Structure 1
Amino acid sequence: MQPQLSRIINLLLLLVGMFSLSYGQVNQSNQKDTANAKSFVDKMQDFAKSSAMSSAADFEADRAEQVQEATLVEIKKNIQKAKLYLRTGLDTLAAKKELSLIAKHASLAGDGVFANRETPRTYRNLVSTQKLLNALLERCNLQKTKLDNHKKRLSQFKYQIDSLSKTKELFSFSKDSVKLSKYIQALVVLAQEVAPIDSMIDRSIVQTQSLQNQANLQTYSLESHLDEVTHFQQQMADQLFHPELSYIWQSSEVFRPFGQIINYSVQKGQLILRFFSISNVGILACVLLLLLVCYSFILSLKNAYRKEANGQAIGKDHLIIRHPLLSAIFIIANLAQFLFNSPPFIFSLFFWLVAGLALTLLMRGYITKFWMYAWLGMLSLFILSAIDNLILQASGIERWYMLFLSSAGLVLGYLIFKKGKRDELRERLIVYAIGLMVALEFFALLFNLIGSYNLAKALLVAGYVNVIIAIMFLWTVRLINQGLQLAFNLYARQDKSLFFMNFDRVGQKAPMLLYVLLVIGWLILFGRNFPAYAFIVEPVRNFFFDQRAIGSYTFSISNLILFFFVVSASVVISKVVSFFAVDKRTFSKQDGKKGIGSWILLIRITIILLGLFLAFAAVGIPIDKIAIVLGALGVGIGFGLQSLVNNLVSGLVIAFEKPLNLEDEVEVAGKSGTVKSIGFRSSIITTFDGAEIVMPNGDLLNSHLINWSSGGSKRRASVIIHIAHGANLQKVQQDILALLLADERIMKHPEPTVFFKDISPEALQMQVFYWSRQTKQLAEIKSDVIVAINQLFLKNDIQIPYPKQEVFVHTANHEKNKT
């Protein structure tokens, strides 16, 4: 372009010069000049048009060349990305295998419900099928989502490559043969790279489309089966009291071989347990964390109790700290099962067995032998009935087995009530649970005899679940009460006005809310054994989980409960952290934890803020709505809350700058005392007179604060002494120094000093200075020093002067004699 532009410029200069020469010929005729001028203008216009067209063509060629280079580079980048994605993207073979497994498991789930229906459907099989189908549907939807995203990504790659390949500049060829040859070579190389990748993308799209169709069909099949199972459950609930089989002694039905039923039930149970555990790994991790926290708390109670008891043995009434690990396992196993949403029976059974084993070890040696044998008998029958509940299809052998379990429950209940050792019971309410067990087992035996298999099995399992869960829940409350009572006695020595967790406020027993929740939990676990449970609970579930709208904002009752629960939990956690951080048994100044108190406020604020954000995120409140609320609060703060904000900000300043810590001895506005609390808005100072000063943090920072605990935790004291004239000052000085150095409470560095301050006609004035550690014994040390000095003076006959005055009385007789 540059050489061509130079030629054009030179040509223009030459033409301009020629025009100047022709313009100088003024003697020629006007017609000739006019003709020559027109000829020259036409030539110049033709030359300008051709030059413009040539320049435009060159510009378009250059631009097309740049677009070609950029397009080729972009196509190569997309090819590389497509290659990488095809290697590392979705494994279609694994997806195909997963869909095949889902179809296989769906076939297993339908056994006894949609296929192999030699015997009537059972409620346990319907429930297991429903849970397994729900797990398979979730996995199928996951694969469907992956396939949809995979196909979308492949289509994007193909679209990008095709759109770049259709760029019109790619089909603009240069007139330069050398450039054209190189460009064609580049296109050939690019075509060789694009062709296989494009074919691979097309094949992947076809495979993905086929898998998508398979996933869609499988999803439709699972949803249809779930609807049928719900219909079957409704029918079973409506016909609950209708016998499905003949009398047990007239059994004429043809059942599947018992071995096949056991094998089928084991396979189905394993699948349900595996799928549910995999989908709740996070909650299981939280349960382990809760177990660790509970064990640490009980262990801290045990250590604190040993310190208070001075090495005495732990009594039987303190069962929770005799076995900290077993107690923690038992409490968490009973409470943590409610963290899971609708767990299958086999999953809940694991928690019940762990809790039952832990309770058995806890009660060993704690209760009488009679009730220990009764507990072991009920636990054994519960395990046997739970094993029966895992059998998903009916058989004649199982009916006789159920009859044996019901009869055994009746016999055990009769023996328990016959012995009548109720006064030995630790928990008297257990008697009512045993009575309910006997009643349920009686009806289970009756309905089993007449052929109501599903109702008989539900009553059989419900009877033993009722008594075992009731006993374990009662003992859970008992252990919690023991822990709270111990914590009340060991940790309730903080002042009641502290803004920390204080077990004096919590009380010595579990709150009534825990009793209510455990009763509700017992009802839920008891009701799950009956077919009508799901249809009774469904309206309640809908009430809590249905979406409601206020304007453009949608919410549910469960989200509101979750919001308040998260906020309350964050507040409780912040209080627990702050309480244990300032407890003297946990941290002490000698352990170098003195400075932790000033950070407790920051820790609490952080925990509460995290709780608020988690609560907002849990209920789905958008951030822009929160910003509006914060803006409104800002307006309110600007008009009427300056003092409150000043105190809050001052609390943060105290936490960062740490001018004082908990347990520091301070002096503010002429008042001395000990810092007992550093709160959000105010701090609490306990005076040496026993009073409490609640001082706003703003006033605390603005006052002249004297912290006697800072600066190496030492304090200087002085005693002023007057001695009579004539004493040996050097000996007095040496004796007093020796006396001070002999006291272990007085520091040797800086060493004590004795100065003679003044001399007067009445006495010699001296002042004693000494340093001591900043403790609550300052007044006691000074008193002991004064007593010791006084004893020293008495021993060495050193006189302490007292005010005296000589009075001379002159009389008249004395004056006469004198004259």
Structure 2
Amino acid sequence: MKNHFSILTCFFLLLLMPSLAQERLAVTKTDSIMLSPKDSLIFVDSTLIQAEKAPSVKAPTLEDLIYKGRTYSLQANEIMLELQEQLDTTRLAEEIPTMEQTIESIRDRTKNPNSKFNFRYVTALMRILKSTEENNQQLDKIVQVRLDRLQYLDSLLGVIKKDDFFTYKIRDTLLLPTYSEEIDHLKANIHLLDSTIYRQELQAARYQSKLSSITIGIMELRRYVENNRTVLEKNLLKKEINFIWESYEIPSPKSIFHITLDSLQLNYLFLLRQLRTDLFTSFLAILILAASYLLVRHTLRRIREDKEYGKVILSRVKFLSEAPFSAVMVALLPLVFFMFDTGSVALLTFFMYILVFFSSVLIHKSFSLSVFVKWLVLVAIFVFFSISNLYWEIAYQERIYFQIGNVITLILLWQIPGKFKSEDKGEVSFLRRLRSLTMVFLTLGIIANIFGRFSLAKILSVAGVVGFIHAITLYFFIKVIMEIIYVIVENKKDADAFTTYIDFKGIQSRIRGFFMFLALLFWVTIFLHNLALSDYVYDSVSQFLSQERKLGATSFTFSSILLFGILIYASYILANNIAYFASLKDQKYSGNRTKRLGSSILLIRLGVLIVGFVIAATAAEIPLDKVTIVLGALSVGIGFGLQTIINNLVSGVILAFERPIQIGDDIEVGENSGQVKEVGIRASKILSYDGAEVVIPNGDLLSQSLINWTLSDKRRRIELIIGVAYDSDMQKVKSLIEEVLTRDRILKVPSPRVLMQNFNESSVDFRVLFWIESMDMMLEMRNEVMNAIFQVFKENDIEIPFPKRDLYIKGLPDEAARLRDKKNPPKTESGDNSH
């Protein structure tokens, strides 16, 4: 029965299959009219299908495929171009082995149990490790950036590879040959890009692995060096070797000769390495030195040849005239040194040797032989101490040499106050203070050496001697800088309209302080370096300045306050210097008011100060809204007690805009008269004709009557009252005076005038009026005209009357008369008039 049922079921299904097939075809069949010929060109390449497509995904059109092909080709080309800019393997191949060699060399030295490190060695190691770490971080950053970029490019390439774009092909490639070639070329490029990215990622990963190994080595060595530095700092004041009066043997595996030789060789390699690293800086430094020397040499030659007073000018430059090349080197080497990394002891010592050499040339040319010989002795001690300062190991054998050098230096320094003489008292004071400071350090070094504190004694001795020699070279640095500026200014006085009115003394007083500050900064930096305290002081000061503090709800740092103060002071100095040079220019064009800046200088000063304040507040991160609160508080103070000050400030601004006076004007204010020298923010300065400087508040200049003799021009009328006797020929007198007034320096327009003025008791007065071009020569012309009138009157017998008085004696006392009669018998006397 079951078999029959199965047969019937199969038969029934066979009957239904045609109708089901027709229905299925009816669903999937596409109208041939709606089918585009170009769509029929596309078919799916089943060999490239990696996964079954979802039935709902619609097949792309030919336009879509062409657009995608073009887009992916452009992306592939961009990736190819970027991959052509490969990693800078040259720098990595050069610097990574150098860093590995440096790490390995330091590691070998740390493993030597016989070497005893000193402060110089530990400090140098810290600097080497720090510079190596910085370089390593830079290289690691470069490699990491490249790896990140390669990963990004790989992700872009992965998006292209995963797209089903490549699963579609053209049925007949002859219909679209260009498209087929483009797709084949894109496939080849993708394969090439994939392999290139892989190779470059592998290369970058290898470099990154080496850099990571260097980083680990630096961390290990830094921990070791810091531990040794801590031990040295703890033992600095402790006894290292025997007292000097005790018998002892110096424990050292090496002789002092070998220690010196090894240290010089090692520092020489460090010096060459730094110069090669800073090759551009080295070339620029040499170029600056050469160009500066040629400029100074050309200036000196022009002064010798073209200047009428060339010998006088050159007599005032002591060092440039004797040794110009050495003088220029002394003036520029301290500045050029700070173009390099100042932390290198080898570079510092190299520059010091060059500076001392050229300073020695200046001393030889400018001072006596005895002074030069003593200087050479100090230089010899300096060379020994500076070479010892380069040692990488503790050499106790040099203990006695340090004692001898300190004693000799103390003897020479003790003789300085009696031997040194100078017209400048500041130089004598400077040398005495420097001598006292150096003697203190050398004395402490001797004491520390006697009691077995060798490391401390060496630090103090080296700092004292090197500091003294360096200070002397910086003294020549300031002197030569002043001489260079002097000859440049004198040389350009005939060629440059600006330098013709430059007052060198005024400029020298202004810039001398700046260069003295630079010299002091250079000296303190190197002095702390020799004391092995530069890093400690720098870190302590940086931490103190950068630490955030709070005052109520307001947080601040001393670095921001310091930066604010420095910028405000710099703007103040800039504003004052602008006013100074502008006032010099006004004095140059004192005869032409239109060419002078005058009181506009005040606006410039205010502008510079305001801009400086805004920049300082922005740099110090001071909110401007809090500044407005402070200004609001000040306004309350203005209402109570600052009216006068604000009045003067506002009056200064009014003077700047209204310009009733300018620098160089001759004015009278109340009982004060003179020439305007400065229009300040609060008050103005007037130089009286007696030489006194009178400070007048700006409010008084506006509130009082102001007489400006040079507001429009500098012409001045001179008035003379000339009296002649009544018996003189008045027409002749007038003609004679008019003849005197025909002089060249008396203006013809307005014409001079001679007027009969008064009939006095004993004279007839003539009023003489004439104009001169400038009131600067008023006294001179008045004197000249009066002398000429007096002389011409004398030649023409014209009397200038003067008061005459007759004395009449009415009577004398009786006793006095009797005595007179005894001595002088009475005689008859007659007078002009009888009484």
Q: Give the direction of change, closer, same or farther, for the CA distance of 1:324–1:553 in structure 2 (3 Å limit).
A: farther
Give, in whole Å, the separation in 1 of the partners of 2:554 and 2:72. Answer: 46
Identity among equivalent positions (%) equals 19
Number of the residue aligned with 1:17: none
How far 1:456 sits from its partner (Å)? 3.0
Cα distance in 2 between the residues matched to 1:646 and 1:178: 96
Q: Which residue identity is paired with 1:665?
A: D
For 1:674-713, what aligned pairs fall within 5 Å after superposition?
674-680=675-681, 683-685=684-686, 692=694, 694=696, 696=698, 709=710, 713=713
Q: 1:459 is matched with which residue?
A: 457
1:266 counterpart = 2:261 = no
Asked if 2 retains the 8 angstrom alpha-carbon contact of 1:319 and 1:362, the reply is: yes
AA partner of residue 104 (structure 1) = Q
Residue type of the partner of 2:419?
A: E
Q: 1:694 corresponds to which letter in structure 2?
A: I
Under a length normalisation based on structure 2, what TM-score does the superposition of the two structures give?
Answer: 0.60
Going from structure 1 to structure 2, the CA distance change for 1:538 and 1:604 (only over 3 Å counts) comes to same
Aligned-pair distance for 1:143?
1.8
Deviation at 1:676, TM superposition (A): 1.4
Superposed displacement of residue 238, structure 1 = 3.2
Q: Please tell me whether residue 343 in structure 1 is matched to residue 343 in structure 2.
A: yes
- 1:101 and 2:98 equivalent? yes
Q: Distance in 1 between matches of 2:186 and 2:705?
A: 81
Residues 591, 714 of structure 2: 8 Å contact kept? no
Matches within 5 A, 1:187-266: 196=192, 200-240=196-236, 241=238, 243=240, 249=249, 253=253, 261-262=262-263, 265-266=266-267
Describe the shift of the 1:693–1:792 C-alpha distance in structure 2 as closer, same or farther (beyond 3 A): farther
Moved more, 626-635 or 673-682: 626-635
Given that 2:617 and 2:624 are in contact with CA atoms closer than 8 Å, whether structure 1 keeps it comes out as: no
The aligned residue for residue 746 of structure 2 is 746
Paired residues in the alignment total: 694
What residue is the counterpart of 1:440 in the other structure? 445
SS in 1 for 2:677: strand
Residues 505 and 478 of structure 1, relative CA distance in 2, 3 Å threshold: same
Asked if 2 retains the 8 angstrom alpha-carbon contact of 1:708 and 1:714, the reply is yes
The alpha-carbon distance between structure 1 residues 598 and 729, as it changes in their structure 2 partners (threshold 3 A), is same
Please, which of 401, 405, 411 is the counterpart of residue 401 of structure 2?
405
**Displacement of 1:229:** 0.6
Query: Which residue is equivalent to 2:528?
Result: 524
Give 1:538 deviation, angstroms.
6.1
**Cα distance between partner residues in 2 of 1:207 and 1:333:** 44
Q: How many Å separate the matches in 2 of 1:541 and 1:476? A: 27
- Larger mean CA deviation between 661-670 and 163-172 belongs to 163-172
In structure 1, C-alpha distance between the alignment counterparts of 2:550 and 2:133, rounded to whole Å: 29
Whether contact under 8 Å (1:382, 1:465) holds in the other structure is no
> Which aligned pairs between 1:256-655 and structure 2 lie closer than 5 A?
261-262=262-263, 265-267=266-268, 269-270=270-271, 274=275, 343-350=343-350, 352-353=352-353, 356-357=356-357, 360=360, 373-393=373-393, 400=397, 402-403=398-399, 405-406=401-402, 408-409=404-405, 412=408, 423-424=418-419, 427-428=431-432, 430=435, 433-434=438-439, 436-437=441-442, 440-441=445-446, 443-444=448-449, 447=452, 456=454, 459-460=457-458, 462-470=460-468, 473=471, 524-525=528-529, 527-528=531-532, 542-548=543-549, 556-579=557-580, 581-582=582-583, 595=596, 600-601=601-602, 604=605, 608=609, 611-612=612-613, 615=616, 619=620, 621=621, 626-629=623-626, 632=629
Match of 2:772, SS?
strand
User: 1:597, 1:149 → 2: CA distance?
Assistant: 59
Separation (CA, whole Å) in 1 of partners of 2:444 and 2:734: 94
Distance in 2 separating the partners of 1:566 and 1:626 = 16
- State the match for 2:829 in structure 1: none
1:761 & 1:590 partners in 2: Cα distance? Answer: 40
Change (3 A) 1:251 1:222: closer
Contact 1:151/1:208 (<8 A) preserved:
yes
* Residue deviations 1:207-235 (CA, integer Å, cap 9, x gap): 33433333233223213311211111112
Inter-CA distance 766–437: structure 2 relative to 1 (3 Å threshold): closer
Cα pair distance change 1:537/1:688, threshold 3 Å: closer
What does the per-residue CA deviation read over 1:728-777, in whole Å, with 9 as the maximum and x for residues that have no partner? 9999887666533424x335xx6452579999999999997755333433
Residue aligned with 1:677, SS: strand
| Structure 1 residues 658 and 227, CA gap change in structure 2 (3 angstroms) | farther
Offset, 1:714:
4.4
Is 1:778 paired with 2:778?
A: yes
Write the deviation string for residues 411-431 of structure 1: whole angstroms up to 9, x where unpaired.
6268659x9786335545536
Q: Which amino acid aligns with 1:390?
A: L
| 8 Å Cα contact 2:752-2:769 kept in structure 1 | yes
Q: CA offset at residue 466 of structure 1?
A: 0.9
In 1, distance between residues paired with 2:790 and 2:704? 40
**Letter aligned with residue 237 of structure 1:** E
**Aligned partner letter, 1:459:** A
Residue aligned with 2:676, SS: strand
- Measure how far apart 1:595 and its partner are: 3.1
Question: What SS does the corresponding residue of 1:663 show, helix, strand or coil?
Answer: coil
CA contact (8 A) 2:674 2:689 kept: yes
Distance 1:793 1:587, change over 3 A: closer
Other-structure match for 2:45? none
2-side partners of 1:171 and 1:731: how far apart?
A: 129
Task: Within 5 Å, give how 1:34-45 maps onto structure 2.
Answer: none
Quote the Cα distance in structure 1 between the aligned partners of 2:409 and 2:140. Answer: 54
Summarize the Cα distance change of 1:193–1:233 in structure 2 as closer, same or farther, 3 Å threshold.
same
Is structure 2 residue 145 aligned with structure 1 residue 149? Answer: yes
TM-score (norm 1): 0.61
2:139 counterpart letter in structure 1? Q
Deviation at 1:126, TM superposition (A): 2.3
